[in-house]
Structure 1
């Protein structure tokens, strides 16, 4: 059985999953946005389709000061091209 389709996943569910995954990690640890997408959509096509929304929600959380987004250890905008990003709790 596969998970919900990308369109059926709410921003609130993405946010809850981000913070749920982070709470299961040690302080200072980060997660990959794909971990969030995979937790919400079981099959590969669905989680890949969800990735842009995960990044959008992550960026909104960062702008609200609730999440820290980095690439290569440097703060970045999750929506900018340039490679993989990591999500973590703010300092």
Structure 2
């Protein structure tokens, strides 16, 4: 099936960040909850891994405290968004 060939985490990240637009961000939990409302917490490592791949491809940026970070070295709480300037109000 074509649905099995798709990566639901990748699709969720791309759809949610596109919906926010440049300047808006999403929490990793938002993408995980799209994939599974019951076991979203177990998906967070997969969301992080996919976010790193997407950031390296230039499709998204990973942000900490409103600033883009290196996908290979960031630590702690992060948000995902399209590359560009993050608006202060979108971070809350």
Alignment of 1:1-91 (within 5 A): 12-43=7-38, 46-77=39-70, 80=73, 82-91=75-84
- Structure 2 regions of 5+ residues with no counterpart? 85-92
TM-score (norm 2): 0.74
Q: Which is bigger in relative contact order (C-alpha 8 A, separation at least 6)?
A: 2
Kept in 1, the 8 Å contact 2:32–2:41? The answer is yes
Runs of 4+ in 1 over 4 A off after TM superposition: 77-81
- Structure 1 regions of 5+ residues with no counterpart? 1-8
- Superposed CA RMSD: 2.3
TM-score (norm 1): 0.74
